[in-house]
Homo-oligomer: A and B are copies of this chain.
Amino acid sequence: MSAREPLRVALLGAGVVGGAVARHLTQRSGDMAARVGAPLEIVGIAVRRAGRDRSELGVDASLFTTDAEELVTRADLVVEVIGGIEPARSLILRAMAHGASVVTANKALLAEDGPRLYAAAAQHGVDLYYEAAVAGAIPLLRPLRESLAGDEVRKVLGIVNGTTNYVLDKMDTTGAGFQDAVEQAQALGYAEADPTADVEGFDAAAKAAILASLAFHTRVSGSDVYREGITEVSAADVAAAREMDCVVKLLAICERNDGGVSVRVHPAMIPRSHPLAGVREAFNAVFVEADAAGQLMFYGRGAGGEPTASAVLGDLVAVARHRVGGGLGPGESSYADLPILSMGDAQTRYHVSLDVADRPGVLSKVAAAFAAHDVSIETVRQQLVAADDGVTAAGGDGSARANLIIVTHTASDAALSATVESLRSLDVVRGVNSVMRVEGF
């Protein structure tokens, strides 16, 4: 594969996202070449000001240029992560006119002028991918455009702004008012010093326009979106929602009916049993209702340098593979043959419930059995077992009985299972009530 000519990549922007993209392309170049079927070579990184120290990106200093207009004319693939309308729009149009495929994370530009860019891509026969613009790392472009291509999407409900979700989540869990919750979010870096674009719903409205375009394959721009922010949501509203067993979320809603398309952003109550209600803190999620597929939800991080870079890199691999002439994802024929580990090698945690005698020294014997297998204990809880008559149950030897519940730290399944075997043979252990693995912590 490495016999193929490298594909020339131009990066527009070297901020948080651009820096992460550059780092991945540099540090994982062999891996990326295998996935694409040809090497990806960074031919230039356009920055606003030259001379700044960007050595942490691990990129040759000669690659930085302030002449983005020239750079896009000598690339096969252009990654635009500068944001804003201009010069991003002109540069993307220029890149496509010169035959380059484009990957962009620019939600403002797509919401303002997406159809013009899509038309230009079609006209020049190049790709324009923009997964990162919709909800950061959450894959939506391909699910909505390809996976559901044989279905009809009816409705999309999205939590697409992490700042407002964090604020509303804090209001719900702590009873805080709007202002207090915003200040908490600012202190933790989840909200900007001027949070207007988020709390007034402008960011969500831009994403709603892109989501509606994707879901219904029609032209929707940011100015078509009805918008209300969360500044008017009070602690009393959140409490009223709680009484209805609901939670308040800022939703981007795209709906298709016989009359046309409705696209709106506003706070709304949703039932706590709804999958979107469980979307906590600064996470995003998009809930989709389709005719045949029914209800689907996509959940993940909607912002941040690394998650956004993940989406940009996925798009970059896809458009690069189109250039090389490959099909779906990593080449079907280039299968790895990774070793399959046995269950004993799996790393997991155990919840063990023991029936023990309640006498001195029991815990130390039990703990010694774990230590002997190098298994570290996270928590131990002991409770006396009450007999049916209400008094403490006694074992055959007259001593009281107790239930010992142990949760371990991570260890190999083999060590954990050997520990349980040795517990069974301890005289202080009357029985092993249950053993269950614990995941997801």
Contacts and interface: CB of A to CB of B under 8 A. Distances in A.
Interface of A: 20, 24, 32, 35, 115, 118-119, 121-123, 127-129, 131, 137-139, 141-151, 157, 216-220, 224, 226, 233-234, 236-237, 240-241, 243-244, 246, 248, 251, 253, 255-257, 259-264, 266-271, 273-280, 283, 285, 287, 290-301, 304, 306-307, 309-318, 322, 327-343, 345-348, 351, 353, 405, 407, 433-434, 436-441
Contacts of A275: 278-279, 299
* This protein's copies in its complex: 2
Contact of A137 (B296, B298, B334): B296
B333 A307 contact: no
A233 to B, nearest CB: 8
Contact of A244 (B296, B298, B351): B351
Contact of A220 (B115, B129, B147, B340): B340
Contacts of A145: 328-330
A285 B300 CA distance: 13
A439 B251 contact: yes
Nearest to A438: B269
Chain A binding surface SS class:
mixed
A322 B329 contact: no
Nearest to A329: B145
A335 B118 contact: yes
A292 B24 contact: yes
A281 to B, nearest CB: 10
A226 B440 contact: no
Residue among A122, A146, A291 with most chain B CB within 10 A: A146
Contacts of A278: 275, 278
A237 B434 contact: yes
21 contacts: A24-B292, A119-B332, A127-B328, A144-B329, A145-B329, A149-B314, A217-B336, A218-B338, A219-B336, A224-B340, A237-B436, A255-B346, A255-B347, A260-B338, A262-B341, A264-B343, A273-B280, A277-B440, A287-B440, A294-B301, A297-B297
A32 B437 contact: no
A30 B269 CA distance: 39
A346 B268 CA distance: 14
A340 B144 CA distance: 20
A270 B439 contact: yes
